[in-house]
A and B are shown apart, each in its own frame.
Chain A
Amino acid sequence: MTDKQLVIIGSGPAGYTAAIYAARAGLVPLVIAGSVTAGGDLMTTTEVENFPGFPEGVQGPELMESMRAQAERFGAEVLYDDVETLHIEPRRHRITTALGAEYTATAVILATGSAYRELGLAEEKNLSGRGVSWCATCDGFFFKDQEIAVVGGGDSAVEEATFLTRFAKKVSLIHRRGELRASKAMRQRAEADPKLEFVLDSEVTAIHGADKLEGLTIASTADGQTRELPVTGLFVAIGSDPRTALFAGQLDLRPDGYLVVEGRSSRTSAEGVFGAGDVIDPVYRQAITAAGSGCVAATDAEHYLSELSDSELNTKEK
Chain B
Amino acid sequence: MSQEVTDADFKQQVLEADGPVLVDFWAPWCGPCRMVSPIVDEIAQEHAGKLKVVKLNTDDNMQTAAQYGITSIPALYVFDKGEVAKTIIGARPKPALEKELADYIG
Contact = CB atoms under 8 A, between A and B. Distances in A.
B90 A99 contact: no
A36 interface: yes
A260 B72 CA distance: 35
B72 A36 contact: no
Interface in B38-72: 39, 58-59, 65, 69-72
B73 A139 contact: yes
A139 B90 CA distance: 11
A291 B91 CA distance: 25
Interface of A: 35-39, 42-46, 60-61, 80-82, 98-99, 128-131, 133, 138-139, 141-143, 212, 232-233
Given A128-B89, A129-B90, A36 B32 contact: yes
Given A35-B39, A37-B35, A61-B34, A142 B72 contact: yes
A129 B69 contact: no
Given A61-B34, A131-B71, A36 B89 contact: no
Contacts of A143: 71
B86 interface: no
Q: Is the interface of B mostly helix, strand, loop or mixed?
A: loop
A138 B93 contact: no
Interface residues of B, number: 25
Contacts of A138: 30-32, 72-73
A128 B30 CA distance: 17
A46 B29 contact: yes
A139 B31 contact: no
B95 interface: yes
Nearest to A140: B71
Contacts of B90: 128-129
A176 to B, nearest CB: 25
Contacts of B91: 36-37
B75 interface: yes
A130 B69 contact: yes
Nearest to A60: B31
Contact of B92 (A36, A133, A232): A36
A99 B94 contact: yes
A30 B95 CA distance: 21
A128 B75 CA distance: 11
